[in-house]
Amino acid sequence: MINKLSALLKSAQISLTDRQKEQLVGYVEMLHKWNKAYNLTSVRDPEQMLVRHILDSIVVEPHLVGERFIDVGTGPGLPGIPLAIVRPQAHFTLLDSLGKRVRFLKQVQHELKLNNITPVQSRVEDFPAEPPFDGVISRAFASLTDMVNWCHHLPGEKGRFYALKGILPQDEIAALPTGFRVEKVCPLSVPQLEGERHLVIIAPSA
């Protein structure tokens, strides 16, 4: 699987160390193993996981600004764990309300020796952001409005929301509540993944 990952990274023009590649493959292997009992993802094939989970997560990394991030509704750790592996100097809080997912995340943290993640079981509206985060990341929220309403207390003054989306949700952008603006939309290219991918970066408006 390392060879397949290396080929995907090359086509995405992403350069990683051998250790980072081993960690990413180790994560996919754990996801595949635990998925049978815990039903963590609908993607069953490990090679598809490399494309649809790993690459789809790490193409976002160049657009992130800051050192402290929270991945809300992380599920089995997406995109937080792949991002934590490729950005070891940053710290990622992985938030999910389901205990079985958080147990899996703690096992990943232990087995892959990831010192820069903190798995937390909590509802997002109950989680205190002290200190506030540089970035609030999600690829699981229903809408941009839900994301900023439920997570409005998480980013700091210069913090940003990073929403991973498929087709650009123009209607969601138009419906953003007062106090938030779309700072940037980044089209993302994921090798071997069909369909559009976008990163919508939202800032609190002064």
Span 172-191, pLDDT tens digits: 999 999 999 999 999 999 99
Residues, the chain = 206
Decide if pLDDT at 140 tops 80. Answer: no
CA triplet 28, 48, 66: central angle to 5 degrees?
60
Residue 63's closest CA among 41, 40, 86, 42? Answer: 86
Cα distance between residue 52 and residue 49, in whole Å: 5
> Which residues have C-beta within 8 Å of that of residue 186, sequence separation ≥ 6?
63, 198, 199, 201
State the residue for tokens 């540089």: 134
Using 50, 70 and 90 to split pLDDT, how confident is the model at 206? low
Task: Please tell me the predicted confidence (pLDDT) of residue 88.
Answer: 98
The pairing of strands 197-204 and 91-96 is unpaired
Helices (H) and strands (E) in the chain, counts: 8, 7
Token reading at 23: 């960690």
